[in-house]
Amino acid sequence: MNASLLVFRLKMALAIIAILLLGGAFTYGLMWYLTGGSISGIAMVTSLVVMAFFLTLFQWLIGPYVINVMYRAHEVKPDDPTYGWVYDMVADVARANGFKDTPRVFIADVPFPNAFAYGSPVAGKRVAITLPLLRILKPSELKAVLGHEIGHLRHRDVEVLMAVGLIPTVIYWLGWSLWWGG
């Protein structure tokens, strides 16, 4: 890894930490103000943040299995007689993007064209392609789509969106508890 990339990643990590700390301080200050300095208000915010974190973590860990069921996705292996070529294409694109291991490849049996990247630490990195997309794209176009999806995995977009998704989740539960809690 070159030095400029390391510096960039360090700056990004520090920026994220700063945003989280400032957001937490703002939230605690706001709750302190809204509850008149009540410790129960601070405890409520803390419990909401912890609950939102664990619900999001649970969703992230089991999400790939739920997606497979919803999309009727089945895994493609390299020796698959029908879709083995898709696996090979994903392996080529992944290797070109610096992946040591090929993401797991799935074919989704749904009526609309789509491709997506998903995964978790438990399920591993995954790429899914729907059957209509396989029918309408040329191999060169499919390779471009797969490159886009592999890019999502390379840049950890699943993890970033999970972390960003915590913000509206916490705000929702905070609003819900304030609405019903008086």
pLDDT in tens for each of the 182 residues of the chain? Answer: 678 888 888 888 899 899 888 887 887 787 777 777 777 767 777 777 788 888 888 888 899 999 999 999 999 999 999 999 999 999 999 999 999 999 999 999 999 999 999 998 888 999 999 999 999 999 999 999 999 999 999 998 988 888 888 788 878 877 887 787 66
What is the pLDDT at residue 94?
A: 96
- Coarse DSSP helix, strand, coil percentages of the chain, rounded to the nearest 5 percent: 70, 10, 20
Q: Please give the Cα distance from 68 to 138 (Å, whole number).
A: 25
Residues serving a catalytic function are 149
Bridge pairing between strands 104-108 and 124-130: parallel
CB < 8 Å & 24+ apart, contacts of 78-82: none
What is the pLDDT at residue 1?
A: 61
Contact assessment for residue 116 and residue 161, using Cβ atoms and an 8 Å cutoff = no
The three-state secondary structure class of 142 is helix
The superfamily (CATH) of domain 66-158 is Metalloproteases ("zincins"), catalytic domain (3.30.2010.10)
